[in-house]
Chain A
Amino acid sequence: MRDPEEMLREGLGHLADEVGTRVPLAQRARAGRRRRTRRMVGVATAAAVLVAAGGVGAALHGSGSSAAPSVGTPTDVPTQHSVLAPDGYRLEVWQNVGVYVPVGWGWGGAPGACGVGPSVGADGHRLTAAERTDGVLPGYVGRPVAQTPRCPKSATQGTSAAMPFVWLGAKDAPVEANLGHGFVVESQKYGDTTVTVGSSDARLRRTILASAHWMTGGACADWLGTPPMSGEQPSVGTAGPVAPYAMTVCAYAPAAMSGYQLLYQEQLADGPAKQLVDAVSDAKPTGEFSCFGASGGEWVLLHLTAADGTRDYVVDLSCPSIADPSGLQHELTSADVLPWAVDGVNAVLHGSPLIDVPGRLIAQ
């Protein structure tokens, strides 16, 4: 008879090798932690979100609010949004906090970025210096993200003081400050994230602040230890790929300490998703010149959803390429970029001068 102790040592070693170890435990732990935290925050937060979701619509349609956007209704925005937001509002996400803002607002920087002020209009085009101050833009959403590799003076100067804004994740934002002429800035914290609203409309400020809520379980992790990876998770029981019906854009840049921080996320509808699939299938493989396994720089995860499962495309902007769900890298072309380089993503990514898409992802 074999020695039982020796048998246990060997047998346990073999048994242990059976387990699958490619499990994203850190991400799952963070997601689980957020769910627990959200439960602890409790019914009060959930109620506030529900009230806000209803209140946002009321604020827009109801009282003739002066700060409610008079331009920029959904039809003014070319992007096909598929997120269910209250009428006239869209969802903006920073880290794991979501907030509803008027759909006609543009995008730009916030304290902590190299520039404070709008840089991109509601249709995703880069604003000229005149457009930043001429009062046409009804407001903007600012993130503490460097808007270009080098801060242009125009991005730090000339912003209209009266332009309403929402700053997401701004550092050292005032809890409440009256800037004169009725323009008030208010901040609230949600976990580690500060949401700051500046407007002369008290109701709009309240409405936006009250709409802030936790975002969990989406396609975009708020932090990644390594660059995102392409891949697919087809459902069982379907034959062949099916056209996607939605695409989530997750834009990442290196975080301050390590890893990659989610800068922006947006959900687009089937049109852009199908365009992307077609464009990538037409793009040439990168061939011998490949950046496979590269790290650093900016990345975009494009998460496509279809009836037969999900597929992830990954764009590496520092080594311009796009990996399809099989992992094959293709050259990044304008056609690959146009479907998703829309709206606020142009305000948070520097892009690459190699991508010749006028007005989109080009550093100015």
Chain B
Amino acid sequence: MDVRVSARPAPVVAPPFDDWVAARSAALLRFAYLLTGSQSEAEDAVQSALERALARWQHVSRVDDPETYVRRMIVNEHISLWRRWRRRVSPVAVVRESNVVAGGPTDPAEVVASTDVVRRLCAQLPPAQRAAVVLRFYQDLDYREIAALLGCAEATARSHVHRALHALRRELAEEDGDA
């Protein structure tokens, strides 16, 4: 009897991917939401990044910080999508119900007002600038890390953040002038 035995089937895809996603998906979605300003675009960006991470999970799961790796994918995905679709899609900011609790340590009205200012600012920023702002002030990364994530020079990362802060100061000054 001529018997050729096939190679043993590859092991099932490593479940740690699902465990890792379960543990980090909320943080990744929050990050993607700040980048995109849209629930659906955030989900798409994270899903797309995770699909690519899944394809190389044996490698990705072994890097020092898989989350940074995936965040970089999300940033790249968002920027490349924006380049592809800009001027064709104009996301409209969705005003959500505030989570601020009345009587909390901060005046709820003030929190809502300042959050809306930040929302408007983010909506106006080009994606790379917006990503730099999110990485600097939400992720608390230094400029070297931001530059590495965005794939740009450190000076460029500083410039992105500086321009965003300048825009915010201008807007706040206009508001103060209106008041």
Contacts and interface: CB of A to CB of B under 8 A. Distances in A.
Interface of A: 1-2, 4-5, 7-21, 23, 25-26, 28-30, 32-33, 36, 169, 171-180, 187, 189, 192-194, 223, 225, 255-259, 261
Contact of A176 (B4, B9, B26, B28): B4
B137 A25 contact: no
Contact of B50 (A14, A29, A256): A29
B157 interface: no
Chain B binding surface SS class: helix
B80 interface: no
B31 interface: yes
Contacts, number: 167
B22 A12 contact: no
A354 B11 CA distance: 35
Nearest to A179: B1
Contacts of A18: 33, 96, 99
Contacts of A9: 137-138
The 4 closest A-B pairs by CB, nearest first: A11-B118, A29-B50, A19-B33, A16-B30
Contacts of B10: 192
A2 B54 contact: no
B6 A187 contact: yes
Given A16-B31, A16-B33, A25-B50, A10 B6 contact: no
Contacts of A33: 51, 54-55
B6 A194 contact: yes
Given A12-B118, A33-B55, A172-B6, A23 B165 contact: no
Given A11-B118, A178-B2, 5 more contacts: A12-B122, A15-B115, A20-B39, A172-B6, A174-B4
Interface of B: 1-6, 8-15, 17-19, 21-22, 25-26, 28-34, 39, 42-43, 46-48, 50-51, 53-55, 96, 98-100, 111, 114-115, 117-119, 121-122, 133-134, 137-138, 164-165, 168-169, 172-173, 176
Contacts of B117: 7, 11
Given A33-B54, A174-B5, A259 B18 contact: yes
Given A11-B114, A19-B39, A26-B18, A1 B6 contact: no
B75 to A, nearest CB: 15
Given A171-B9, A174-B3, A10 B39 contact: no
Nearest to B38: A19
Given A16-B34, A19-B33, A180-B1, A26 B114 contact: no
B118 A29 contact: no
Nearest to A112: B9
Contacts of B122: 12, 15
